[in-house]
Amino acid sequence: MKSGSLTIVGTGIRSVGQLTTESIVCIQQADKVFYIVSEPIADSLILRLNPSAESLQKYYVHGKPRLQTYQDIVDRIMESVRDGKQTCAAFYGHPGVFVMPSHAAIRQARSEGYEARMLPGISAEDCLFADLGVDPAASGCQTYDATDFVMHHRRLDPSSAVILWQIGVVGHWTFQQTGYANLGLPLVLEKLSEYYRPNHTVVVYEAAVLPGCEPVIQPVPLSQLPSATLSPGSTLYIPPAQATAPDLNMYQRLGLPITF
């Protein structure tokens, strides 16, 4: 292994309280720290932990394609690694969930012979399970990016829960500092109408990013989703719409009693 290294960490959704001890130590001991967080308190916290910390938020420019932004972030991180520095990059939430640059940077570092690893963090999905009282094991859970769901032939199981990420920025490939028109939302509704009745209640969710604040939890009938308040951080949770169909043959083969 070469002298430089890369550790990717997650700061959690609420950095104060959700930043793990292991991640704190990595930030403190790194020669160079890069970070992207969602609020000023987390920004100050990381700078206190390591004065070398450099925000990567500058690469997000209005109208700039996201893929170019992600590549610029990877290039900046790799500059430090190639310099022989023990480099740490901190991303809010879980660093492996909806964080393309983290995966790309690790692949790049490893391909060049550098040690690279990722430490887990608390994601928006973890917060959703806690705030909505959802157990994903109860009925199963399908998760898709909302844009990906529209663009591809995804098939849903209405007896299972569904999570659609980034429901407030469907079809947007550039960073918009002034907000998003979200013209792709009707296409999401069009596809969902194949599986759910218009009055099926769904939940627009957004995790609280500051201590003491409450999460956004908006239950609405599916047909009224366009009238809900959406942001780039909004997630759509769709509870099961029907019971699971048991496979009697498998019950028998497993030797389980049939009690329904």
Alpha helix segments (H runs only) across 133-192: 136-139, 146-151, 185-192
Cα dihedral 134/235/120/41 (nearest 10): -110
Cα 190 to Cα 194: distance, rounded to the nearest angstrom: 7
Cα 55 to Cα 37: distance, rounded to the nearest angstrom: 8
Instruction: Please pick, among 35, 92, 114, 237, the residue that the annotation labels catalytic.
Output: 92
List the helix and strand counts (H, then E) for the chain: 10, 10
What is the pairing mode between strands 115-118 and 86-91? unpaired
Q: Residue 107 catalytic?
A: no
Q: Which two tokens stand for residue 220?
A: 């609405």
Cβ-in-10-Å burial (0-12, 13-18, 19+) of 172 comes to middle
Instruction: Please pick, among 66, 76, 82, 110, the residue that the annotation labels catalytic.
Output: 66
CB 133 within 8 A of CB 22: no
Backbone dihedral angles phi then psi of residue 249, each to the nearest 5 degrees = -60, -45
Cα 247 to Cα 204: distance, rounded to the nearest angstrom: 33
What is the sign, positive or negative, of the torsion defined by CA atoms of 124, 7, 44, 177? Answer: negative
Instruction: Please pick, among 14, 35, 59, 70, the residue that the annotation labels catalytic.
Output: 70
Own/partner pairs, 219-223, CB within 8 angstroms, 24+ separation: 222/189, 222/192, 222/193, 222/196, 222/197, 222/198, 223/189, 223/198, 223/199
Tell me the catalytic residues.
66, 70, 92
